[in-house]
Amino acid sequence: MRGTELRRTAFIPFFPESDSLSPPLTYSRRETTLHSPLMCLNLPTFLNVMEAPKPENAERKTLDDRQKMTDLERLRHSAAHVMATAIARLWPDAQFASGPAVENGFYYDVELEHRITPEDFPAIEAEMKKEIKANHVFEKLIVTREQAFADAQKGRLGALAERPAPSKFKIGNLADIPEGEPISYYKSGDFIDLCAGPHVMRTGNIGAYKLTTVASAYYKGDEKNPQLQRIYGTAFKNKTQLDEYFKMQEEAKRRDHRKIGAEMGLFVLDAEFVGPGMPLWLPKGTVLVEELEKLAKETEFAAGYVRVRTPHLAREKMYKTSGHLPYYAESMFPPMELDEMETEREELTSRLRQAELKVGEFVDGVMTKDSGKGGAIFEVSEDGSLQRSGPFLVKALDGLKRDYSIPPAVEAAADEFRRLKPKFDSLPPIDRYFLKAMNCPHHHRIFAAEPRSYRDLPLRLAEYGTCYRYEQSGELFGLMRVRSLNMNDAHIYCTEDQFASEFKAVNDMYLKYFKIFGLEKYQMRFSTHSKEGLGKKYVNEPELWLKTEDMVRRVLNESGINYVEVANEAAFYGPKIDVQVWSAIGREFTIATNQVDFAVPAKFGLTYRDRDNQDKTPLCIHRAPLGTHERFIGFLIEHYAGNFPLWLAPDQVRVLPVTDAQMDYAQGIVNELRGQQVRVELEFSNDKLMGRIQRAEERRVHHILVVGQREQEANNVALRIHGQGQQGVKPRAEVVAEILAAIRERKA
RNA sequence: GCCGGUGUAGCUCAGUGGUAGAGCAUUCGAUUCGUAAUCGAAUGGUCAUCGGUUCAAAUCCGAUCACCGGCUCCA
């Protein structure tokens, strides 16, 4: 924000010391009417100054949206009402907030003195059973806004009867309903709730239900609001479907990547020495990482990409230029600071601070005497924030000179400030290095490293870049959400004319990968900007946004990609496509992302010389079809339940001689396969064959070759495939050839 | 970051104020064995960390850290 000569000033009572040499503290905006040069603001307390801005209103579903609820969602939403009824019977003073249907069931948020635990579930479920047995009709009542407020005041909403305390959250919900929208209740038995519906006809239609967990959530999702208990449950038409759901949950638990990762020795998370969210890849896990890299490198090479390598660090200027710093700073590790003038800086800082304090104290004192109130003086900058800088205080002191006599010590402090400030300002800035949270800025500098012609485009720079993101501690989750990550990253610089075909090629690459990994269900989420966010959440280029989004939409339509469009979720520099895939057991994962960037190349001043001899800014496509190794491998572990196809399997082949008379024969097979880059080992421990097979199966060794005297004599092997049992005895050469082919073709 | 839960051997878990346990894994010994577990022995723990209560703490209390389930965020 640019400063002006005409500063405005505020006098805030009871404010602590300031520090003008660290970045100025900024306080939220306040409506003020001010006159110059100095004046008093009569703010009742300091706390009022700290009032936070109102959070953006969460998007509200329109009535039309609600009518689109599926039958299952209606049933679950109705189950939420029934659960609330049951809770209200057990704890009549419960205050309900909202209770929607969600992906796997429903929840209801409730404020209640009693802390609900899973031990309470049987009692709640028993009450629910009564409600369902009674088969109440879900009755819709249209009421006036006044009526609704009156009932809420009487505590009647989200309740079985009127209560002494008002239904406070329902009052809050009412306030969010736009003028003109009809207000309705749903009544089932004694329970009346403020609700837009829709519901099933009768409580008896809720076939099968079960409470699952209890968690906490803020009212309306805002951490400044009261914290509520969120009781989760799920419901289905019938018991069979409910049982299937829980079976699937069990299966997901069995396939949990953390569990299988530990069993197979793929990775460890060493929070104590390495840090939370920073996986160490063990040898078996590294196999997965490197096989994926190999796949991506081959695929990208064939598609005309070139590979680059960049360091893990970059100077502050990089991220200031890219614009990541203001938008993204919270997600980056704090910078490493190199300061060659550290001693001088500290010395000057301390002397300036002392001088400033002295001046500030005097000015505050004068103001206090004038106003009769204790407090401190501030300048109000153009954006309404309050600041208190040294130069400002010295200037304020000058303003007082006409009417007040300044003590010599204060004058001396002001002089010292005037003398040292320029010195301080002329110190070279502190050199700050950031761990990179993304690779694009480095790649932009590679683009900038040489003059570029339109003949060089499209330029596709690919890198397995390691990035570091400071995810909040509560976000970390196994491999799925980490702080150090490896991205299958690339940036495609192209002209507008090339955009459509490049973007289509990227999509085709996704589809190719899906096929290799046997992903049958996928969806692309096309995230676009919102007008309101321009200049805040999004770079302020309204026309470019529309134009780019239109290009993307056209390609998606033309190539018949399965996608949905979501407004207001784009990246700050352009529209984004998140790729969602569903694992073999039907769980959804957001695996990759694909972004169009029309803003950052310009910030870096990237240009190419076009046919017409003009310099033009390229478009940039950010794409990472395999996302991060961490998340992708986490996903694959669940998808395959750890039973990777041969080409990916950390243990591809294990040869088991029946007795040590076959050791040489077995060793020969091992040598042959190892010579062909196959991950094979020989096992001859003290255990019986049965035991060794058991262990090989447990370790998920893909091919188990048993060789006894019979096989050795005929130059055969007895083949066993993990999870598929014995495959019979085959000629050694045939088995070796099959193994090599399956690996080469990346057979599923 | 916020709320709640959990933390005992490498893994899975017993142990409710009175001398830290089991199975598997590991190591050693015996067994030479034909398709999902041979037998025996040994090793292994500051009971997450720090502090408090107590004659006595894995056990009770507090703080911190990590993990888990959510919220917010996100690849």
Question: What would the pLDDT profile of A565-615 be if each residue is shown by its tens digit?
Answer: 988 888 888 899 989 998 888 888 888 888 999 888 999 999 999 999 999
- Give rounded-to-5 percent helix, strand, coil for chain A: 40, 25, 35
Q: Which residue is nearest to nucleotide B29 (CA to C1')?
A: A686
- By mean pLDDT, which of A58-67, A155-164, A483-492, A733-742 is the weakest? A58-67
A26 pLDDT higher than 50: no
Closest CA to A731 of A719, A721, A741: A719
Q: Which pLDDT value is given to residue A40?
A: 25
A334 sits within 7 Å of strand B by its CB: no
Kindly state the average pLDDT of the residues A706-715.
96
Judged by C1' against the alpha carbon of A217, the nearest nucleotide is B71
Confidence band (pLDDT; 50, 70, 90) for A17?
very low
* C1' (B47) to CA (A269) span, angstroms: 22
Q: Are A626 and A632 in contact (CB under 8 A)?
A: yes
Kindly state the average pLDDT of the residues A672-694.
93
The residues spanned by each domain of chain A are 8-52+340-425, 63-244, 287-310+453-462+478-640, 653-744
Pairing of strands A619-624, A588-597: antiparallel
Confidence band (pLDDT; 50, 70, 90) for A58?
very low
Q: Whole-number mean pLDDT of chain A?
A: 84
Q: Which of residues 553-572 of A touch strand B (CB under 7 A)?
A: 571
A55 sits within 7 Å of strand B by its CB: no
- How many Å apart are CA A696 and CA A690, to the nearest integer? 10
Share of chain A above pLDDT 70, in %: 90
Confidence band (pLDDT; 50, 70, 90) for A62?
low
- Across A251-389, the runs of DSSP E, i.e. the strands, are 267-269, 279-281, 306-307, 313-315, 336-338, 375-380, 386-387
Question: What would the pLDDT profile of A207-248 be if each residue is shown by its tens digit?
Answer: 888 888 777 777 777 666 777 888 888 888 888 888 888 888
Judged by C1' against the alpha carbon of A722, the nearest nucleotide is B36
A43 pLDDT higher than 60: no
Higher pLDDT, A304 or A99: A304
A7 pLDDT higher than 60: no
* C1' (B46) to CA (A327) span, angstroms: 46
Judged by C1' against the alpha carbon of A213, the nearest nucleotide is B69
Kindly state the average pLDDT of the residues A331-347.
88
Q: CB neighbours (10 Å) of residue A543?
A: 7
Q: Which of residues 627-666 of A touch strand B (CB under 7 A)?
A: 627-628, 630-631, 658-660
Longest dimension (CA), chain A: 113
Confidence band (pLDDT; 50, 70, 90) for A30?
very low
Judged by C1' against the alpha carbon of A684, the nearest nucleotide is B32
The position carrying tokens 């002392």 is: A354
Which tokens belong to A630?
């961490």
Is the domain spanning A63-244 CATH 3.30.980.10? The answer is yes
Q: Which pLDDT value is given to residue A317?
A: 93
Q: Which pLDDT value is given to residue A599?
A: 86
Helices vs. strands in chain A: H and E counts, helices first: 23, 31
Question: What would the pLDDT profile of A246-258 be if each residue is shown by its tens digit?
Answer: 888 888 888 899 9
Judged by C1' against the alpha carbon of A256, the nearest nucleotide is B68
Kindly state the average pLDDT of the residues A257-281.
90
A258 sits within 7 Å of strand B by its CB: yes
Q: Which of residues 450-489 of A touch strand B (CB under 7 A)?
A: 469, 471-478, 480-483, 485
Q: Which of residues 267-286 of A touch strand B (CB under 7 A)?
A: 269, 271-272, 276-277
A29 pLDDT higher than 60: no
* C1' (B30) to CA (A693) span, angstroms: 21
Chain B nucleotides covered by protein, CB below 7 Å: 1-4, 11-12, 29-39, 65-75
Q: Which of residues 12-41 of A touch strand B (CB under 7 A)?
A: none
Q: Which pLDDT value is given to residue A5?
A: 34
* C1' (B65) to CA (A470) span, angstroms: 18
Q: Which pLDDT value is given to residue A61?
A: 63
* C1' (B19) to CA (A555) span, angstroms: 75
A39 pLDDT higher than 90: no
- By mean pLDDT, which of A10-19, A145-154, A393-402 is the weakest? A10-19
Confidence band (pLDDT; 50, 70, 90) for A13?
low
Is the domain spanning A287-310+453-462+478-640 CATH 2.60.40.10? The answer is no
* C1' (B70) to CA (A162) span, angstroms: 32
Q: Which of residues 383-412 of A touch strand B (CB under 7 A)?
A: none
Q: Which pLDDT value is given to residue A535?
A: 79
Confidence band (pLDDT; 50, 70, 90) for A101?
confident
Kindly state the average pLDDT of the residues A308-316.
94
A300 pLDDT higher than 90: yes
A724 sits within 7 Å of strand B by its CB: no
**Which amino acid would we find at residue A614?**
Q
Higher pLDDT, A277 or A115: A277
Confidence band (pLDDT; 50, 70, 90) for A8?
low
Question: What would the pLDDT profile of A512-538 be if each residue is shown by its tens digit?
Answer: 999 999 998 899 999 998 888 887 778
Judged by C1' against the alpha carbon of A727, the nearest nucleotide is B35
The DSSP line for A242-273 is: HHHHHHHHHHHHHT-HHHHHHHTT-EEE-TTT
Q: Which of residues 184-213 of A touch strand B (CB under 7 A)?
A: 213
- For the A653-744 domain, the top CATH level (class) is alpha beta
Closest CA to A717 of A692, A734, A739: A734
Q: How far is CA A120 from the centre of its chain?
A: 33
* C1' (B29) to CA (A330) span, angstroms: 59
A171 sits within 7 Å of strand B by its CB: no
Question: What would the pLDDT profile of A444-456 be if each residue is shown by its tens digit?
Answer: 999 999 999 999 9
Residues paired with A309 in a beta bridge: none
* C1' (B22) to CA (A558) span, angstroms: 64
* C1' (B16) to CA (A228) span, angstroms: 32
* C1' (B67) to CA (A249) span, angstroms: 21
A276 pLDDT higher than 50: yes
* C1' (B46) to CA (A474) span, angstroms: 29
